């Protein structure tokens, strides 16, 4: 059974008190860092220098999601910064296989993200080059959006391909994850869940992480027959 991982997104955190906000999610599996360039997506967040500072003070590993253009040029720098995982968008890469190999060579796990309308089938042959496939369950760019159920069939197709290949690739979902939607996403085959509002909008983020982890794990156990 794939491990259920909860990666809170700091997009919903208080950026004025970011170091304290990171400590509030110290029970998470990783912190999801959304890097947006106001070009690939219509929003602007943080760049590499701020990510490096987050890396220096975070109690958990960093899982960077690069919503930026020209990923082939910029993504390797995030791997050089020592991040545990770097995810680029397939739509922003000219040579995704080359980029994934470069990220791994620089010590980071390689992730590739797909927008909701981007089909997974053209990328199934490169699963062995990835550590994680991120299937966006909202349009990238802003937090607080509602989960798109139309992405569930794509998650199922990806899980079937991964299980059929025997390759240990994680499936991450990002957008609209709550205690309710995590169950549907896990049932479809996802096992890494990005949650922003559901964690940082809670009075006790650690308790919210625990509830999400239990809900996702229960569904993954049920799916595996345990």
pLDDT digits (tens, 9 = 90+) for 32-58: 999 999 999 999 999 999 999 999 999
pLDDT on residue 62: 98
The pLDDT confidence band at residue 225, using thresholds 50, 70 and 90, is low
pLDDT at position 222, please? Answer: 87
Q: With pLDDT > 70 as the criterion, what percentage of the chain qualifies? A: 98
Query: Which pLDDT belongs to residue 226?
Result: 59
Q: Let me know if 125 is a catalytic residue.
A: no
Instruction: Out of 34, 70, 149, 204, pick the active-site residue.
Output: 34
Query: Quick one: average pLDDT of 138-149?
Result: 90
* 225: Cβ contacts below 8 Å, ≥ 6 apart: none
Share the mean pLDDT of the chain: 96
Residue 51 CB neighbour total at 10 angstroms: 21
Which pLDDT belongs to residue 118? 98
The phi-psi region of residue 76 (left if phi > 0; otherwise alpha if psi is between -120 and 50; otherwise beta) is alpha
Distances from the Cα of 72 to the Cα of 97, 130, 169, angstroms: 10, 15, 21
pLDDT of the residue at 165:
92
* Marked catalytic residue, from 29, 63, 131, 174: 174
**pLDDT reading at 2 higher than 80:** no
pLDDT tens across 173-217, in order?
Answer: 999 999 999 999 999 999 999 999 999 999 999 999 999 999 999
Q: Is 34 designated active site?
A: yes
Q: Where are the beta strands (DSSP E) in the chain?
A: 5-8, 31-36, 62-67, 85-89, 109-114, 132-136, 170-174, 192-195
Cα–Cα dist 193/5, whole Å: 6
The whole-number average pLDDT for the span 22-31 is 98
> Whose CA is closest to 117, among 97, 93, 77, 90?
90
Given a cut of 70, is residue 9 above it in pLDDT? yes
Q: For position 113, what pLDDT does the model report?
A: 98
In the predicted structure, residue 116 carries a pLDDT above the cut 70: yes
Say what the pLDDT of residue 1 is.
59
Structure confidence at residue 223 as a pLDDT band (50, 70, 90)? confident
Q: What is the pLDDT of residue 224?
A: 65
Q: What is the pLDDT of residues 63-102, one digit of tens each?
A: 999 999 999 999 999 999 999 999 999 999 999 999 999 9
């Amino acid at each position: 059974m794939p491990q259920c991982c909860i990666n809170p997104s700091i997009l919903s955190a208080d950026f004025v008190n970011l170091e304290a906000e990171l400590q509030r999610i110290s029970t998470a599996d990783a912190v999801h860092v959304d890097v947006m360039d106001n070009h690939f997506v219509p929003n602007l967040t943080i760049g590499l220098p701020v990510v490096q500072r987050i890396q220096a003070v975070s109690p958990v590993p960093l899982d960077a999601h690069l919503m930026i253009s020209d990923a082939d040029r910029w993504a390797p720098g995030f791997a050089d910064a020592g991040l545990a995982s770097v995810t680029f968008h397939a739509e922003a890469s000219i040579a995704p296989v080359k980029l994934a190999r470069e990220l791994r060579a620089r010590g980071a796990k390689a992730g590739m993200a797909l927008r909701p309308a981007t089909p997974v089938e053209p990328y199934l042959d490169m699963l062995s080059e990835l550590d994680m496939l991120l299937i966006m369950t909202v349009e990238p760019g802003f937090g607080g959006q509602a989960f798109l159920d139309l992405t569930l069939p794509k998650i199922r197709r990806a899980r079937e391909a991964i299980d059929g290949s025997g390759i240990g690739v994680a499936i991450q979902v990002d957008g609209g994850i709550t205690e309710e939607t995590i169950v549907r996403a896990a049932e479809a085959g996802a096992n890494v869940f990005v949650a922003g509002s559901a964690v940082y909008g809670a009075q006790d983020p650690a308790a919210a992480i625990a509830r999400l982890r239990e809900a996702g794990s229960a569904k993954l156990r049920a799916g595996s027959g345990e």
